[in-house]
Structures are given as C-alpha cells and as structure tokens.
Amino acid sequence: MGAGKTQPGKGGEESIALIGFMGAGKSAAGTLLAAKLGMTLVDLDEVVSGQAGMSVEEIFRSEGQDGFRIRESEALRMELKTGEKVISCGGGVVLRDENIELLRRKCRIYLLEITKRAAIERLDSAVGRPLLEGGDLGERVGKLMEERSERYVSAAHEVIDADDATPEEIAEEIAARWQRYRSEQRGEHTRSM
C-alpha cells in the first residue's frame, strides 16, 4: 500500500470493490468471486438502474452523466451500509472523490487493469455504453482511459492485470489475494492485543 493511502476498516464487515474501465470484466469476475467467497454480489449499475426504473442508457439520456453519477453515489452509500459484499463498480465510479473515499473506507479495492487494445476488442459493439456512442470507438476509449487512469490507480489497493485473463482467472487471483490480505489482517490484530 502506497504512502497516503487509507486502510479499510479492520472489522469482518469489509467488502471487496472491483473498479476499472468498461470491459475489464468486473461484472463477470465479480459474479464468480462472490460465489467463491460466499459473499453477496452487487452490480452497482444494476442497482442504479433498478432504483431509477430505467436502463443506464435511459438515465444518461434523460438526466445526463451528472444525474447518473449522483444516483451512482447514492446507491454506493446505500450498499456500503452493510458489508461482506463484492461490489462491481461502473467504470466512472472513480470520477467523484466522495466515491473513492467511501470505497477506501469500507472496501478492499481491486483495479482490473486493461489496455486500450483489450478495451476496444471487448467493447467492439459499444451497445449499452452511452459514453462510447458516436465517433471513433478507439478515440473515445483512449480519451476516457486517459481521463480515468490516474484515478483508478490512486483509488486501488491492488492492481490485477486483466488484459489476457479470463473472468475465472481474475476471480481466482482476487480470491487468493483477499485471503492473504485477511490472514495478514488477523495477524496484525492478534499482535496488537
């Protein structure tokens, strides 16, 4: 953990947050990870959509990105009132400082990092991705990745190379890291008593 990074709470209620660019595999790996660890899966985009009674695309069209981000922050606050969840965050969750602060306080954050090449391959159709509509996909992906890259890295506790990994491999890697982290955490707690 780098200097200046806050450590999540030491209680058993801590959650796992998956962050990263669109197409990184957060939802697919999150589903497998939650099942593997016996935790509840929360797909933040689905929560926002369900609360609004509209698809993500409809929210973007009617309320714009700002409206969606406000809803996203509210959903995140609500979901993190209880712990022991795997939260698959939308790609733009890191755009609001309050989200990063809340995630770092309540979760162990894993960044699923992919390259522009991998993102373009995975997002080829861009259906259901309002921020990628219109214009050249490569340019849109490059611009958004550039805007978000630093925020992803600074928010994360750990980085997972998800470029060529399957959702199963990503889930296995995070589960192993989570177990190691939790063991270290229990060891620190025991020594401090």
For 168-182, what is each residue's pLDDT tens digit?
Answer: 999 999 999 999 999
pLDDT at 143: 92
pLDDT at 127: 59
C-beta separation of 21 from 91 below 8 A: yes
What would the two tokens of residue 50 be?
A: 């369900």
Tokens 């995975």 label which residue?
122
Residue 139: is its pLDDT beyond 60?
A: yes
Verdict on whether the full-model pTM lies above 0.85: yes
pLDDT confidence bin for 138, thresholds 50/70/90: confident
Handedness of CA 128, 157, 185, 178 (dihedral sign): positive
Q: Which residue has the higher pLDDT, 172 or 187?
A: 172
Residue 10's alpha-carbon distances to 91, 103, 107, in angstroms, are 27, 14, 10
Residue 11: is its pLDDT beyond 60?
A: no
> What residues pair up with 18 in beta bridges, in sequence order?
88, 110
Q: How far apart are CA 88 and CA 51, in angstroms?
A: 16
Q: For the segment 75-131, what is each residue's pLDDT rounded down to a tens digit? A: 999 999 998 999 999 999 999 999 999 999 999 999 999 999 999 888 876 556 767
Query: Taking all residues of the chain, what is their mean pLDDT, rounded to a whole number?
Result: 89
Q: What CATH code is assigned to 15-191?
A: 3.40.50.300
Continuous segment of H or E residues that includes residue 160: strand 158-161
Q: How far apart are CA 70 and CA 60, in angstroms?
A: 11
